[in-house]
Amino acid sequence: MRDRISFENTSHERGAVPAAGDTAHATNVLSRRPHVLVVEDHDAVREVIVRTLHKISVATIEAMSAEEARMRFSASWLDAAIVDVALPGGNGLDLGEWMRRRLPMLPIIYISGLSEQEMPGPLPRDNLSRFIRKPFGARVIIDFVTNLLAQTAGHADLSSL
For residue 64, pLDDT beyond 60: yes
CB 77 within 8 A of CB 62: no
Quick one: how many helices (H) and strands (E) in the chain?
A: 5, 5
- Residue range 32-152 in CATH 3.30.420.80: no
Q: Report the range out of 31-35, 46-50, 76-80, 116-120 with the highest average pLDDT.
A: 46-50
Give the domain ranges of the chain: 32-152
Q: What is the pLDDT of residues 9-60, one digit of tens each?
A: 222 333 333 344 433 333 433 345 899 999 999 999 999 999 999 999 999 9
